[in-house]
Amino acid sequence: MAIITISRGSYSMGKAVAEQVAACLGYTVISRDLLLDASTRFHVSEIKLIRAIHDAPGILERLSHSRQAYLAYIRAALTERVRDGNVVYHGLAGHLLLKGIPGVLKVRITADLERRVENEMQREGISAQEARDIILKDDNQRRGWTKSLHGVDPWDSNLYDLVVRIGALTVADAVSFICEAARSEGFRTTDKSLQPVKDLALACRIKAELVEEFPTVGVTCQYGNVIVYTREKGTGGSRLHKRIEALSKEIQGVFNLEVHSSENFPADAV
Amino acid sequence: MPIIIISSEDPAVEEQIAARTAKAVGFQTLGPEVLPAIAAKHAIPEPKLAESLGRTATPWWRRQAKGRQLSLACVEAEVLDRLAPDNIVCWGLGAHLYVLGISHALKARLLPDPARQIEALAGQRGVSPQKAGKLLEGARLKRAQWAQAAFGQNEMDPSMYDLIINLGQIDPDEAVGTLTTAVGYRKFQPMTYSISSLADLALAAKVKAKLLRTMNDIRVQARDGKVVVTSKALQRERRKKTAAIKSLAGEVPGVNYVEVHLINYVIRAAAESFR
């Protein structure tokens, strides 16, 4: 059973598509409730997490590590929720937060600007101009956020497996295409294919635990063997060492935990 | 019945999926095999015609070449004419860039598997995968520039397509299945309005191809046999150019009325005032 991420612009009917796909396949839907999870688990206010994942970072924020920490919390919460498969995630940047996991069906739902304006006008009871301004501002924020943090444009179709434009094609058509793709061989999950998800979830959890004190560390995990990469010489200082020893006892599923000192982290390091 | 327009940065993918989709739904294919007939009809050398669709040159070079504009206009006019009978899967003729606003045309873009593309190019050119990746990225950028210069469209814009399928993870068989399912939907069935919109596009393209033989900077719109031509002219040339446009456009079968809008040729007027 697959993991499906649905990326969408505001008022593009992506939420409706996600909910109907989940209902059709009997999957769990994850969206903003994920932020509540992260907020409770890592004791950060939800509003800070929302800003971290929605707004493009300002100049000062780019210099500080707070946003990195919030994203690490969100990613840890998301990977924890998707580790067993059978989920549809339609929050922000799912395709990027779950990057590196094979077999994730990445979908983008688009709609004509005029249709989106119409949807927003109906829902919010505002004028066409106001609705257009809000949508364009929101689109720019999301583009800015993704470009600044991941260096890619969310409008780039190459990031997705399937892009469906709601217009001539309806929400029901999109749902049917997505369900058909999710049932295909390429997206069928097995214990073997879920292993990288479990490893990523573990790496993200450890990164989230370390990020506040050690914002620049990188973490990889393979079959429960965790390596924490640091740019400090030796094993990264006694403070990091002690923290890691404690974590290896605290977190379930860690088979072995090591610290490596290296200038260049592996590309898949969290 | 509908029209399916398939586009991809990889012509082999376009051809393969178009042929398989056409077979699955029992449609005809329309591809680059029509270029010799178009070349013969419009007395344009075939290599020149193929080159205009080659998608390699810079936009500035494209814009400057009147001959290439004419070649593209001839291809556009002939393709639009051939799409009128419906039940067609069109590929390799840039139709996704000029078949606009036709509700019974399903536009699909197929993204080839990047890993396979890189591997194939690296093997073919004997370069590293990194270098092959950069070459592919460069080629993609040039194609986007070509689409912008030739038809004023951003081919990378996802809103241009009804469906975009990435063959990196989705099997070609499944892509064909998705296209055949989608084309069966009621919204892609031809209606009186969409058929007449396609006929209008074809008429406008024919008039444009006719006018580009003798003049530059031509834009044409058509509706139910009425044609509006927009161009540029110096003040003193206006009457002569209007008459020429009316006469030439009037020769195209299906044109009932011609309206000409001439914009003042500011740059040429300024250049001539210094003489």
- Which residue of chain A is at minimal alpha-carbon distance from B179? A177
Decide if B209 is inside a domain.
no
pLDDT at A270 over 90: no
pLDDT at A22 over 70: yes
Q: What per-residue confidence (pLDDT) applies to A63? A: 54
Q: Distance between CA atoms of B77 and B202, rounded to whole angstroms?
A: 6
DSSP 8-state code for residue A58: -
Q: What is the mean pLDDT of residues A148-160?
A: 80
Q: What per-residue confidence (pLDDT) applies to B207? A: 93
Decide if B10 is inside a domain.
yes
Confidence of residue B10 (pLDDT cuts 50, 70, 90): confident
Same domain, B182 and B223: no
pLDDT at B225 over 60: yes
Chains A and B form CB pairs within 8 A to the count of 79
Same domain, B152 and B21: yes
Q: What is the mean pLDDT of residues A149-173?
A: 84
Decide if B197 is inside a domain.
no
Q: What is the mean pLDDT of residues B155-178?
A: 89
Same domain, B45 and B156: yes
Question: Which residue, chain included where needed, has tokens 């769990």?
Answer: A28
Decide if B200 is inside a domain.
no
**Contact assignment for B182 to A177 by CB distance below 8 Å:** yes
Same domain, B60 and B171: yes
Same domain, B157 and B21: yes
**Contact assignment for B171 to A186 by CB distance below 8 Å:** yes
Decide if B229 is inside a domain.
yes
The pairing of beta strand B226-233 with beta strand B257-264: parallel
Closest alpha carbon to B75 in B31, B21, B118: B31
Question: Which residue, chain included where needed, has tokens 């470009």?
Answer: A147
Same domain, B81 and B154: yes
Same domain, B168 and B227: no
Based on the structure, what is the number of domains in chain B?
A: 2
Same domain, B61 and B101: yes
Q: What per-residue confidence (pLDDT) applies to A58? A: 61
CATH assignment of the domain containing B101: 3.40.50.300
Decide if B202 is inside a domain.
no
Domain stop point among B146, B173, B188: B188
Same domain, B118 and B254: no
Q: Distance between CA atoms of A167 and A21, rounded to whole angstroms?
A: 18
CATH assignment of the domain containing B248: 3.30.1340
Kindly report which listed range (A210-214, B108-112, B142-146) carries the lowest average pLDDT score: A210-214
**Contact assignment for B169 to A156 by CB distance below 8 Å:** no
Q: What per-residue confidence (pLDDT) applies to B205? A: 92
Same domain, B247 and B156: no
Tens digit of each residue's pLDDT (9 = 90 or more) over B16-30: 999 999 999 899 999
Closest by Cβ to B182, choosing from A163, A169, A181 = A169
B268 is in which domain, residue-wise? 214-273
Q: What per-residue confidence (pLDDT) applies to A62? A: 56
Same domain, B129 and B232: no
CA distance, residue A164 to nearest chain B CA (Å): 5
- Spell out which residues of chain A touch residue B109, defining contact as CB-CB under 8 Å: 157, 163
- Which residue of chain A is at minimal alpha-carbon distance from B171? A186
Give the list of residues 6+ apart from residue B178 with CB closer than 8 angstroms, or none.
A177, A180, A181, B163, B165
Confidence of residue A233 (pLDDT cuts 50, 70, 90): low
Decide if B68 is inside a domain.
yes
CA distance, residue B174 to nearest chain A CA (Å): 8
A143 touches chain B (CB under 8 A): no
Q: Which residue has the higher pLDDT, B184 or A243?
A: B184
- Which of the given ranges, A226-230, B66-70, B187-191, has the highest pLDDT on average? B187-191
Q: Which residue has the higher pLDDT, B183 or A244?
A: B183
Same domain, B24 and B112: yes
CA distance, residue B172 to nearest chain A CA (Å): 12
Tens digit of each residue's pLDDT (9 = 90 or more) over A170-220: 888 899 899 888 888 777 777 777 778 788 888 888 887 777 777 777 888
Q: Which residue has the higher pLDDT, A247 or A204?
A: A204
Q: What is the mean pLDDT of residues B235-262?
A: 88
Sign for the pseudo-dihedral over CA of B80, B81, B82, B87: positive
pLDDT at A234 over 60: no
